[in-house]
């Protein structure tokens, strides 16, 4: 494996359009997600490794890797596995490489920049594919599943992980259901932007020829006292929600959201002791026969 370098494996430009500003905000959110929900993530990675069997020198693909949450979780599962971490965003990949260097695992990670809505680079034959919070971004996920089937060795494992809804941070009673109303607006926006969000991945996997061995939900609920990172995660997530939902919320809802996001105010997320973190992922372990 090569280390620390930027690999232009192929000639594609990155097809999706958010610039570095958007990527920076998403990257921060992904890193906080990994930190705050790390325990649940390790559980998912352990579950995937259990399905995959021993991974000595395993060839692993992390598709839509972002800042590398899944890459690093899988590397922790096996001392010898090597991961190709693939994403369309150079910003994410640079952050992943920095982290790999800091953890001393850069020789076991190769980053590949590719717009996975376009032609795919040749990943070689792989033993395990991990793809988390990514498949719903694709314009044609069935085509991607066919390509993944072809990339996996017979007996190889594909793990698809998706968030079941967006993480929640506020008690249901706050603002008489404020967060639910915000999420309804964001969900509508997300469904328009990403029509495959919430799809039945089990059915798609079977249609692509995989044998689905298990489908499992991984739920997390963290309550007070929350860590500082959990508060930052709540702030970053609700800040993003505000950006997306502002035009569609009532002025009373917007005022309350702003009061929560105000670091100095009496309602601030920085101080409240009724904050919580509720998140749920669904994972499918699918084998190429
Ligand atoms: C929600 S993030 C998930 C990141 C990571 N898998 C995780 O679980 O933290 C989705 C990632 O998919 C990447 N992405 C979106 N569309 C893509 C495309 N067409 N080709 C390649 N990467 C894409 C984004 O840059 C982003 O890093």
Ligand 1 atom at minimal distance to the Cα of residue 27? 27
Query: What's the rounded Cα separation, in Å, for the pair 63 and 44?
Result: 16
- Of 167 and 19, more confident: 167
Query: What's the rounded Cα separation, in Å, for the pair 278 and 220?
Result: 6
Among 15-19, 44-48, 118-122, 265-269, which stretch is predicted with the lowest mean pLDDT?
A: 15-19
pLDDT given for residue 137 in this prediction:
95
- Ligand 1 in contact with 117 (CB < 6 A)? yes
The domains found in the chain, sorted by start residue, are: 20-169+194-221+278-287 (3.40.50.150)
For residue 161, how far is its CA from the centre of ligand 1 (angstroms)?
12
Indicate if the pLDDT at residue 10 is higher than 80: no
Indicate if the pLDDT at residue 142 is higher than 60: yes
pLDDT given for residue 153 in this prediction:
95
pLDDT given for residue 57 in this prediction:
62
Mean pLDDT of 222-250: 94
Closest CA to 45 of 65, 71, 80, 63: 71
Pocket test for ligand 1, best of 137, 167, 194 (most atoms within 8 A of CB): 137
For residue 66, how far is its CA from the centre of ligand 1 (angstroms)?
5
pLDDT given for residue 55 in this prediction:
61
């Amino acid at each position: 494996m090569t280390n620390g370098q930027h690999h232009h494996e192929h000639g594609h430009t990155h097809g999706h359009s958010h610039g570095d500003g958007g990527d920076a905000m998403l990257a921060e959110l992904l890193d906080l997600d990994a930190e705050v929900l790390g325990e649940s993530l390790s559980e998912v990675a352990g579950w995937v490794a259990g399905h995959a069997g021993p991974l000595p020198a395993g060839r692993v693909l992390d598709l839509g890797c972002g800042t590398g949450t899944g890459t690093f979780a899988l590397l922790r599962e096996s001392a010898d596995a090597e991961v190709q971490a693939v994403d369309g965003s150079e910003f994410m990949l640079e952050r992943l490489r920095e982290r790999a260097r800091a953890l001393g695992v850069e020789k076991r990670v190769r980053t590949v920049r590719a717009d996975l809505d376009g032609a795919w680079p040749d990943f070689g034959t792989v033993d395990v594919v991990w793809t988390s919070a990514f498949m719903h971004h694709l314009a044609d996920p069935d085509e991607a599943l066919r390509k993944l089937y072809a990339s996996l060795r017979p007996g190889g494992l594909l793990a698809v992980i998706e968030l079941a809804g967006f993480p929640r941070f506020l008690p249901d009673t706050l603002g008489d259901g404020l967060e639910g109303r915000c999420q309804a607006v964001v969900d509508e926006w997300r469904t328009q932007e990403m029509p495959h969000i919430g799809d039945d991945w089990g059915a798609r996997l079977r249609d692509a020829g995989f044998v689905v061995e298990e489908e499992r939900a991984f739920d997390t609920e963290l309550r007070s006292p929350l860590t500082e990172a959990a508060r930052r995660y709540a702030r970053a997530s609700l800040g993003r929600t505000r950006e997306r939902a502002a035009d569609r919320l009532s002025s009373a809802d917007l005022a309350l959201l702003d009061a929560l996001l105000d670091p100095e105010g009496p309602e601030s997320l920085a101080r409240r002791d009724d904050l919580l973190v509720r998140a749920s992922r669904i994972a499918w372990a699918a084998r190429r026969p």
